[in-house]
């Protein structure tokens, strides 16, 4: 009996050492399986119908120039088995099509499975519909990859999509912001190493550690190319999920999700450098939020009202600079009994 603890400790040590060994032994060829473009399925079969799917997770929604709604969500929920589905509504959301586009990365042999889990939909100023999505080995392989497909005829009976393009390491959950000078700013998050899984990948991609943050990518040519402009490493980050708005004075205001709520940072050089991040006076739990400038020039902010408190004078004054009449608090959704709102995605 007295030898059992020693045997157990030896086993634990062996398991820990094996985990590190496995992580170190993952070959570049295996890691680079996530760089292979996934198939874009525009004729999904019955295996993707509602009654066949297990779990869903919201991604985003967008309106096209002629009023069609496109929605995107993840099948299998927040898991390493996630895949993207897109559907449409031509009656303002009253009824919806079955999935019209599916991005379901195939699992490579003898390697962690691939998945698509984070992304969004966006109609650009030219009327083109973008679908941003990520692809990773396992839940997060330490690098992930930001991809897009684009539809130039999103109101057509048979919309067509471009081939997938990988343009960044990381992932994009929220929509781009079009600046007054014409730049398109895209939030791209490269998650921290504690999100990596499975264990065999824990030592992968240390070369990217310097940019594990809420990054900002920019396109100055209407989406033909995207390059990193800057970023913010928020203390206590929890997926970042950052959003950016341009203020009246031309400065940029970034808000991000952290374990303690919303934090913020400012840039006065269009996103190249940012101020030291600070906790925001906007009260919100550790959950997704939404902020966007409307066509009227006002800002729309959506937060979780379980922590809603009167906004502090500082933020009211800040909003007087951003929107002529400051914040007006209004409850916009009351979930049915037994349900809850877990994420926010809006269109205007």
**251-268 pLDDT per residue, tens:** 999 999 999 999 999 999
- pLDDT given at position 345: 59
Contact residues for 51 (Cβ-Cβ < 8 A; gap 6+): none
State residue 305's pLDDT score. 62
Query: What fold does the segment set 4-322 form as a domain?
Result: Neuraminidase (2.120.10)
Domain boundaries, given as residue ranges, for the chain: 4-322
What confidence score (pLDDT) does residue 17 get? 35
Q: Coil, strand or helix: which one is 13?
A: helix
C-alpha torsion 270→274→277→280, nearest 10: -20
DSSP-based three-state secondary structure for 262: strand
pLDDT per position as a tens digit, 35-85: 999 999 999 999 999 888 777 888 999 999 999 999 999 998 899 999 999
| pLDDT in the model for residue 325 | 39
Task: Name the percent of the chain in helix, strand, coil, to the closest 5.
Answer: 20, 30, 50
- Chain length of the chain: 348
pLDDT-flagged residues of the chain (< 70)? 1-25, 305-348
In three-state secondary structure terms, 29 is helix
């Amino acid at each position: 009996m007295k030898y059992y603890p020693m045997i157990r400790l030896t086993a634990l040590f062996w398991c820990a050492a094996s985990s590190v060994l496995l992580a170190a032994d993952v070959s570049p060829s295996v890691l680079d399986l996530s760089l292979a473009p996934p198939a874009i399925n525009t004729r999904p079969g019955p295996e993707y119908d509602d009654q066949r799917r297990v779990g869903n997770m919201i991604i985003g929604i967008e309106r096209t120039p002629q009023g069609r709604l496109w929605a995107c969500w993840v099948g299998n929920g927040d898991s390493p088995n996630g895949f993207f589905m897109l559907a449409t509504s031509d009656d303002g959301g009253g009824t919806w099509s079955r999935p019209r586009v599916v991005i379901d990365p195939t699992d490579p042999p003898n390697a962690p499975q691939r998945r698509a889990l984070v992304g969004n939909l966006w109609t650009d100023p030219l009327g083109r519909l973008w679908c941003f999505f990520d692809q990773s080995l396992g839940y997060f392989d330490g690098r992930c990859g930001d991809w897009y497909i684009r539809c130039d005829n999103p109101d057509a009976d048979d919309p067509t999509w471009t081939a997938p393009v990988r343009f960044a390491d990381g992932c994009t959950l929220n929509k781009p912001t079009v600046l007054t000078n014409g730049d398109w700013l895209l939030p791209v998050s490269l998650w921290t190493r504690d999100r990596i899984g499975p264990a065999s990948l824990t030592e992968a991609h240390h070369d990217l550690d310097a940019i594990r943050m809420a990054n900002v990518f920019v396109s100055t040519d209407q989406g033909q190319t995207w390059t990193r402009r800057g970023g913010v490493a928020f203390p206590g980050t929890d997926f970042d999920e950052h959003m950016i708005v341009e203020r009246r004075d031309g400065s940029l205001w970034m808000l991000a999700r952290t374990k303690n709520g919303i934090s913020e940072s400012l840039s006065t050089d269009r996103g190249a450098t940012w101020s030291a991040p600070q906790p925001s006076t906007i009260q919100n739990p550790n959950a997704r939020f939404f902020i966007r400038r409307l066509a009227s020039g006002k800002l729309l902010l959506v937060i979780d009202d379980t922590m809603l408190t009167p906004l502090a004078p500082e933020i009211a004054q800040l909003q007087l600079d951003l929107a002529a009449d400051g914040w007006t608090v209004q409850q916009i959704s009351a979930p049915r009994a037994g349900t809850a709102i877990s994420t926010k995605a809006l269109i205007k």
